[in-house]
Structure 1
């Protein structure tokens, strides 16, 4: 998208009178531009018009998290389509690496977000994406039904369709049938989840305030948000200690978190290929 087009949008929609492009680049999912203006600094994500719903949903997720007033996120200003190109304009934040204190504050803030009052059902009022993969969030009264149907089975069927991997769904059956046992005696209250909380989606400001971004939000079991924190590193003991001070671990959490990790390994298999298949199989064989 030409610089002048985004500049015009910033002037027309956000009442900026002085606009300067600071830098531009490309991420794994889209292009981006950073603008300095007299009304603050903006980070603009740019993609094809077919990806508008993905960018729009990301903006809605940031708004949901911001409304809880628990964790710092970039403010979402505007999403739209202009000249066949989709865009999302959010607050630009100058991000740094985490410190032990910011990790502790992040754990506490995430727990507070998970404890924030939510709806009675699981899901969300709109679908979104996890990476580039569609994420279906149909409201469901049962967490077991929601997670089995719209997380694991949905991914398994997409993998079967893309890779003709007919064995994986069959291998998952024992695990899917064990869901009632895994959640026996556990009250699962719907919590607002970031949904894609790996180390690359969190950082800190210069003053140490932790920030999260690039969400794939929905309402679900709080343990699901901890699953990716244990997959690829990037989260210290300070984070977990602070989190569990507010939300203590429940019996069986280690097994359930493995099940929640399966969703993300399946998604990596779907997106990046069969090198992630063995990680999926290893989790299934535990059950």
Structure 2
């Protein structure tokens, strides 16, 4: 953390006015912005995410998603850190969050807590799918908007924008449109209850705490099928059998979930292809070919 930003935090108009930052330690794991552990003169430890001035909008979307998830969480089982401060300072943007003492251990509370969050949000769902503003999936765009049917939401709001960004997949516009119509039709056949999802649930955005509770953070939330969260946990690994068993104890799997997993993870593969290229392009092409064959059969 540069000296200017550190001074901004404790300045008279800063979020930590009246305090002294006694120690700053870098925190690994992020690939977009910098993250820090702050130790304060009052004994508290905070997590700080920092970036240039144009990072403020991304932090604002993240803070809003954390607040939304926090409305439905059972804090005895799962912790969703709630924003303490979001500020635009002279030397950059800062999002301050409580420090989470990560501790590894089993993932039973993580799975149970996620299921309870999904379950609770369904009881107050908006009766439609989407999100009220444009956001981000990692550093990529995640458009806002609403659809009444789940298949239309996933095809129009998630897959279509990613396919438009990626012109290196070897599909014609007609083939893309036929594919999207097939995805929408398949998903529209199901009765799905809108659920507030984390939206970017890979292993780096979830953990167990020292006290045994689970925690999720750095979300890209929207109202969707709960299965999109579970699907992504399989994409990059990091989730153990006790996570899935404890989730399923609350919300048992629905027939066909395994077949839908690849459809849902195509979104993240396309986003990674657009952000990083390389092997993700090949994975996206292969996934599209497999799914296109399924749609036409």
Taking structure 1 as the reference length, what is the TM-score of the superposition? 0.89
2:203 pairs, out of 183, 199, 202, with 199
**Aligned equivalents of 1:140, 1:94: Cα separation in 2:** 39
1:34 is matched with 37
1:264 is matched with 268
Alpha-carbon offset, residue 166 of structure 1: 5.3
2:92 is matched with 85
1:24 is matched with 26
Q: 1:60-209, aligned counterparts within 5 Å?
A: 60-70=64-74, 71-83=78-90, 85-97=92-104, 99-100=105-106, 103-116=107-120, 117-160=124-167, 165=169, 167=171, 171-183=175-187, 185-209=189-213
**Aligned equivalents of 1:154, 1:180: Cα separation in 2:** 14
Unaligned runs of 5+ in 1: none
Quick check: 1:42–1:92 contact (8 Å CA) kept in 2?
yes
**Aligned equivalents of 2:170, 2:130: Cα separation in 1:** 28
Alpha-carbon offset, residue 52 of structure 1: 1.0
Alpha-carbon offset, residue 43 of structure 1: 1.2
**Aligned equivalents of 2:20, 2:153: Cα separation in 1:** 48
Alpha-carbon offset, residue 221 of structure 1: 0.5
Quick check: 2:135–2:141 contact (8 Å CA) kept in 1?
yes
SS in 1 for 2:145: coil
Quick check: 1:182–1:252 contact (8 Å CA) kept in 2?
no
Quick check: 2:207–2:214 contact (8 Å CA) kept in 1?
yes
**Aligned equivalents of 2:172, 2:217: Cα separation in 1:** 32
Instruction: Render the CA deviation track for 1:30-60: whole Å, top value 9, x for unaligned.
Output: 1223222227321111111112110111111
1:57 is matched with 61
**Aligned equivalents of 2:43, 2:11: Cα separation in 1:** 14
Quick check: 2:24–2:39 contact (8 Å CA) kept in 1?
yes
**Aligned equivalents of 2:243, 2:178: Cα separation in 1:** 33
Alpha-carbon offset, residue 184 of structure 1: 5.6
Residues 184 and 126 of structure 1: CA distance in aligned 2, closer, same or farther (over 3 Å) = closer
Unaligned runs of 5+ in 2: none
Residues 217 and 206 of structure 1: CA distance in aligned 2, closer, same or farther (over 3 Å) = same
**Aligned equivalents of 2:235, 2:37: Cα separation in 1:** 31
Quick check: 1:73–1:213 contact (8 Å CA) kept in 2?
yes
SS in 2 for 1:13: coil
1:212 is matched with 216
Give the CA RMSD over aligned residues: 2.2
Taking structure 2 as the reference length, what is the TM-score of the superposition? 0.86
